[in-house]
């Protein structure tokens, strides 16, 4: 500390005070380089996940079983695009431009949630994604509404409200299928069999293998450990599955009276690592599609920039920074 310039010493003291008070750090505040870096990575990866996550579901818009289902699914996929935009904006306040963040994704230097490297094979998968994937996202993100970085925390408040609708629509798809014909019920069961493990892995590796978690918790970015959040999620979805008349194919899943929680089986962490490493069923396809969409959208970005430039020439007050 003594080697830091005076401004940094005072900045660090202010930062420590804000964190100790459980208050918010704002973009113009001093922050440690590691805090800025961690948040830039986390928030931008979160933004990438929202955008890539549109793909497995958008794939079903043309095949939704009714006009009502199509309209609901389109609204949900559009919500995810909006989440990406809020989060890129929040990430930009940390000092890295959106162009650079997007470039990191397109060249393969940035990660996104590995769950989106799984395909949506049937209509029931759309239900399972809404119920389990958006459900896990909510469990992860509700505590982030209290994250110490103001722009991230505030973006999470609205995102969580929309995710609640997403989860509900997924559960409702599965409810109709599980109360339909035997074939529909079977399709719903197979969908949750596919998504149970990957959804539980969305909370990240076990605490013992998650060395950065402690620092994130000390900075009030993370409020609960990966395993705590995973446990909370399991406790929530087991009674919900019962209400659907479905079950999880996990022989170790049972209520533990002593712990007051459900026990669950070991997850396939080798699979998790291989999907993160790029070997999941859809990694290549997801990135090809994103690059293609980025190229196809170039004219929109160019037109928007030209229009902004024109407005700036006519009246600089029309466009604010
Ligand atoms: Fe989202
Ligand atoms: Fe969502």
Picking from 112, 141, 147, the residue whose alpha carbon sits closest to that of residue 31 is 147
CA 122 / ligand 2 centre spacing (Å): 18
- Which ligand is nearest the CA of 80, by number? 1
CA 219 / ligand 2 centre spacing (Å): 26
Q: What is the 3-state secondary structure of 106-144? A: HCCCCCCCHHHHCCCCCHHHHHHHHHHHHHHHHHHHCHH
Residue 319: the pLDDT is 61
Query: Model's pTM, two decimal places?
Result: 0.93
Q: Which two tokens stand for residue 22?
A: 């459980």
Nearest-Å Rg of the Cα atoms of the chain is 21
First to last CA, the chain: 36
- Angle, helices 283-296 vs 298-314, to 10°: value is 40
CA 181 / ligand 1 centre spacing (Å): 31
Is residue 7 in a domain?
no
CA 300 / ligand 1 centre spacing (Å): 23
Residue 2: the pLDDT is 46
Is residue 302 in a domain?
no
CA 165 / ligand 1 centre spacing (Å): 10
Q: What span, in angstroms and rounded, lies between the C-alpha atoms of 118 and 101?
A: 24
CA 80 / ligand 1 centre spacing (Å): 4
Is residue 78 in a domain?
yes
Q: What span, in angstroms and rounded, lies between the C-alpha atoms of 188 and 173?
A: 9
pLDDT tens digits in sequence order for the chain, 321 residues long: 445 667 888 999 999 999 999 999 999 999 999 999 999 999 999 999 999 999 999 999 999 999 999 999 999 999 999 999 999 999 999 999 999 999 999 999 999 999 999 999 999 999 999 999 999 999 999 999 999 999 999 999 999 999 999 999 999 999 999 999 999 999 999 999 999 999 999 999 999 999 888 999 999 999 999 999 999 999 999 999 999 999 999 999 999 999 999 999 999 999 999 999 999 999 999 999 999 999 999 999 999 999 999 998 988 776 655
Is residue 171 in a domain?
yes
Q: What span, in angstroms and rounded, lies between the C-alpha atoms of 246 and 289?
A: 34
Is residue 316 in a domain?
no
Q: Give the range of the structural domain holding residue 236, as residue numbers without chain letter.
A: 32-268
Is residue 250 in a domain?
yes
| CATH code, domain carrying 36 | 1.20.1260.10
Q: Which residue has the tokens 């395993």?
A: 227
- Which ligand is nearest the CA of 136, by number? 2
Q: What span, in angstroms and rounded, lies between the C-alpha atoms of 165 and 170?
A: 9
CA 239 / ligand 2 centre spacing (Å): 21
User: Around Cβ 14, how many Cβ atoms within 10 Å?
Assistant: 14
CA 165 / ligand 2 centre spacing (Å): 8
CA 112 / ligand 2 centre spacing (Å): 14
What are the backbone dihedrals phi and psi of residue 240, each rounded to the nearest 5 degrees, phi first? -65, -40
CA 156 / ligand 1 centre spacing (Å): 10
- Which ligand is nearest the CA of 158, by number? 1
Residue 4: the pLDDT is 61
Is residue 320 in a domain?
no
Is residue 14 in a domain?
no
Burial class (CB in 10 A: 0-12, 13-18, 19+), 190: middle
Number of domains comprising the chain: 1
Is the CB of residue 308 less than 8 Å from the CB of residue 123? no
């Amino acid at each position: 500390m003594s080697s830091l310039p005076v401004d940094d010493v005072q900045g660090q003291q202010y930062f420590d005070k804000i964190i100790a008070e459980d208050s918010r750090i704002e973009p113009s505040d001093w922050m440690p380089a590691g805090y800025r870096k961690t948040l830039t990575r986390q928030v931008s990866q979160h933004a990438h996940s929202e955008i890539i996550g549109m793909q497995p579901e958008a794939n079903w818009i043309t095949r939704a079983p009714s006009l009502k289902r199509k309209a609901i699914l389109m609204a949900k996929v559009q919500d995810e695009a909006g989440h990406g935009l809020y989060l890129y904006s929040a990430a930009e306040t940390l000092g890295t431009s959106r162009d650079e963040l997007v470039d990191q994704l397109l060249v393969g230097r940035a990660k996104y949630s590995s769950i989106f490297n799984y395909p949506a094979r049937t209509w029931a998968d759309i239900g399972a994604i809404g119920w389990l994937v958006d459900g896990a996202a909510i469990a992860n993100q509700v505590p982030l509404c209290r994250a110490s970085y103001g722009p991230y925390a505030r973006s999470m408040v609205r995102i969580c409200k929309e995710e609640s609708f997403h989860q509900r629509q997924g559960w409702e798809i599965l409810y109709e299928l599980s109360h339909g014909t035997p074939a529909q019920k079977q399709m719903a069961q197979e969908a949750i069999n596919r998504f149970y493990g990957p959804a539980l892995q969305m909370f990240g590796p076990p605490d013992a293998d998650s060395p950065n978690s402690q620092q994130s918790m000390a900075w009030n970015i993370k409020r609960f450990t990966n395993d705590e959040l995973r446990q909370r999620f399991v406790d929530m979805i087991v009674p919900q599955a019962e209400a659907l008349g479905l079950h999880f194919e996990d022989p170790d899943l049972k209520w533990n009276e002593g712990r007051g929680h459900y026990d669950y089986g070991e997850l396939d962490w080798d699979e998790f690592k291989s999907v993160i490493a790029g070997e999941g069923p859809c990694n290549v396809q997801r990135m090809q599609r994103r690059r293609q969409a980025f190229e196809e959208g170039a004219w929109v970005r160019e037109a928007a920039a030209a229009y902004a430039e024109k407005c700036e020439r006519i009246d600089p007050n029309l466009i604010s920074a």
